[in-house]
Structure 1
Amino acid sequence: MTKKCAFITGITGMVGSHLADFLLANTDWDIVGMCRWRSPLDNIAHLVPLINRKERLRLVYGDLRDSDSIDHVVKESKPDYVFHLAAQSFPQTSFTSPLDTYETNIQGTSRILEALRQHRRDAVIHVCASSEVFGRVPKEKLPINEDCTFHPASPYAISKVGTDLVGRFYAEAYQMTIMTTRMFTHTGPRRGDVFAESTFAKQIAMIEKELIPPVVKVGNLNSLRTVADVRDAVRAYYLLVTHHPIPGEFYNIGGTYSCTIESLLNYLISLSPRKNEIRIEVDPERLRPIDADLQVPDTAKFEKHTGWKPEISFEQTMKDLLDYWRERINQSAAFLTR
């Protein structure tokens, strides 16, 4: 019997790399990971021996902005399962590079799905949108369910509205098995340092190593977020495509621990032996023109369908994130202070 093949776009990112780890540990599937030729391999460095031995995991090079490359990798990999995770994923950057964000996220999704329609129409496909599509939500609509109106608060969020709608269009128009997710805040080891909780953890690790003064620079600390662990997130994505997938469905997924960004920062600081020395300073460059400040999900629909529930505690996630940055900082001092 031929083994199943999973195709992961954005395998070198935080989520893609953890998804590869999960699938390698919990399935016998072969995995094809798409990345750009210049993508850093730090997040999958521990998987390089498998790649070199051509053992279950291989990389293919493609760019969401290049239709020919996307067509080639889909035709070559012939996946049974597709996890479309690749994106320009940083909201702050989208304010200065909106067109690149739209091109990568909206048109890139369309290119992936069109290639699949042409070459692998029967694949089970996950299109990853974002909770940012809901944007500015009034308090009376919390927790946010799937029927909440889209009110995007950044070009990134607008691009993810497009991603969401393109996925649902292909499911309905071409009878493809495509499900869309709106994952709320998820973090943990390998989280990029442009995101709030990860830059906090990195700065604390640099303070502990005496590479910077004991000051953590921050943006808006008033946003309310519900935090999930990335390892719970990838388990949810696996269940999405394997547990009675329903073409065209869309789901909110997220954690159960809600707090302000300020509370999250204070918890990270409390884990440091230098907690009594650390000060907090607002950096205007870290502030967005507008912010999605109430991000609390109603995940009942997804939980009812799959039985999924988050298992990793907020405290464990924060500890693992800080330890990840401590390890990286111990290995090298060459880090930007962003």
Structure 2
Amino acid sequence: METIKILVTGGAGFIGGNFVQYMVNKYPHYHIYNLDALTYAGDLLKHRDIEKKENYHFIQANIIDRKRIFSIFEEFKFDYVVHFAAESHVDRSIQDPEIFVRTNVLGTQVLLDAVKQYGVTKFIHVSTDEVYGELDLDPHTFFTEESPLQPNSPYSASKAASDLLVRSYYETYQIPINITRCSNNYGPFHYPEKLIPLTILRVLNNRKVPIYGDGKNIRDWLHVMDHCQALDMILHQGKIGEVYNIGGHNERTNIEVVKTIIKRLGKSENLIEFVPDRLGHDKRYAINPSKLEKLGWKPFYTFETGIAQTIQWYVDNKWWWERFDL
């Protein structure tokens, strides 16, 4: 059997890390190469259960290091690339946009140039629904793959720019690509600067939970394992050149999410602390994933089952998160 080599960039992060574990365990005959710069949100402890498996390999490198990336492509001759590596925290992008442009735009270009030179069967660019901007509060409106890109933060602008770069390399150089745009992910190994893990860990430690503005901003929540299964399907069945939206059909306001977590952990809503709203805070995101569902994908988790599983994971895995400054 021919060995399939898959490069996963950002495989020490949250979504990329879950995808690495999913692929290593599901496809023992594939070789999964986890490339990560190990910035503040990168973490290899999460891979302690797979790090000794013969089909898992770790490479420490930064995607903006052109010489290093090209040498890695030259050495390993990857069949597929699944590109997660990105700066992703909106608050940090407001404070320092430059690192987002450097990693998300220039880093993506380096990878595309390597793919162009060395060739792969498919390059999957993992993006975000935030590139579409914000929706109004009409529950009948959704982002589709044809929605215009109207990013409202430096983070989402950098992701939109990288999306357009990927598209241009497909149109100009015929590089085989897919672009995926997902709604907000949650689940195990989520770095605790994001809403759901921060809330769970603050509540477990009886500390105040900050909520921006009035807490009525709406997000469509997708369990990270549903995202991994969607990417698996797109990798193997997605039509070259196409964009696929990945959403969970789970719209909730931020305050609903926080109150759900507090209730499940049996704590008081007095832990909630409203703080001044974030600059450029989008009101609502919601995805229509029907294009992907026609390939046969549908989410396994409802928000209720997914948040229960996630909360229990954090309760059971203090070894992973107790080292973070919360």
TM-score normalized by the length of structure 2: 0.93
- Counterparts of 1:203-282 in structure 2, within 5 Å, are 203-207=202-206, 212=207, 215-220=208-213, 221-243=215-237, 245-273=238-266, 275-276=267-268, 278-282=270-274
Tell me how far apart the structure 1 counterparts of residues 231 and 322 of structure 2 sit (CA, whole Å).
35
Q: Rate the CA distance shift 1:78–1:8 in 2: closer, same or farther, 3 A.
A: same
Matching residue's letter, 2:134: R
Deviation at 1:37, TM superposition (A): 5.5
What is the root-mean-square deviation in Å for CA atoms of aligned residues?
A: 1.8
Asked if residue 129 in structure 1 is aligned to residue 127 in structure 2, the reply is yes
Q: Rate the CA distance shift 1:289–1:24 in 2: closer, same or farther, 3 A.
A: same
Aligned position for 1:322:
311
Matching residue's letter, 1:113: L
Tell me how far apart the structure 2 counterparts of residues 109 and 272 of structure 1 sit (CA, whole Å).
40
- Counterparts of 1:275-294 in structure 2, within 5 Å, are 275-276=267-268, 278-284=270-276, 287-294=277-284
Aligned position for 1:8:
8
Asked if residue 295 in structure 1 is aligned to residue 289 in structure 2, the reply is no
Q: Rate the CA distance shift 1:9–1:318 in 2: closer, same or farther, 3 A.
A: same
Tell me how far apart the structure 2 counterparts of residues 18 and 133 of structure 1 sit (CA, whole Å).
23
Aligned residues between the structures: 321
Aligned position for 1:97:
96
Q: Rate the CA distance shift 1:281–1:81 in 2: closer, same or farther, 3 A.
A: same
Matching residue's letter, 2:312: D
Deviation at 1:24, TM superposition (A): 2.0
1:40 pairs with 38, 43, 48, which one? 43
Tell me how far apart the structure 1 counterparts of residues 242 and 250 of structure 2 sit (CA, whole Å).
25
| Runs of 4+ residues over 4 Å off in structure 1 | 330-334
Q: Is the 8 A contact 1:137 1:151 kept in 2?
A: no
SS at match of 1:46: coil
Q: What's the CA shift string for 1:17-67, capped at 9, x where partnerless?
A: 2112221222221111101266431222222222xxxx1111112102211
Q: Rate the CA distance shift 1:7–1:271 in 2: closer, same or farther, 3 A.
A: same
Q: Rate the CA distance shift 1:325–1:122 in 2: closer, same or farther, 3 A.
A: closer
Tell me how far apart the structure 1 counterparts of residues 152 and 122 of structure 2 sit (CA, whole Å).
31
Matching residue's letter, 1:18: N
Identity of aligned residues (%): 25
Tell me how far apart the structure 2 counterparts of residues 310 and 331 of structure 1 sit (CA, whole Å).
26
Q: Rate the CA distance shift 1:7–1:318 in 2: closer, same or farther, 3 A.
A: same
Give structure 1 stretches of 5+ with no counterpart: none
Tell me how far apart the structure 2 counterparts of residues 192 and 335 of structure 1 sit (CA, whole Å).
9
Tell me how far apart the structure 2 counterparts of residues 271 and 226 of structure 1 sit (CA, whole Å).
20
SS at match of 1:100: helix
Q: Is the 8 A contact 2:152 2:282 kept in 1?
A: yes
Q: Rate the CA distance shift 1:112–1:265 in 2: closer, same or farther, 3 A.
A: same
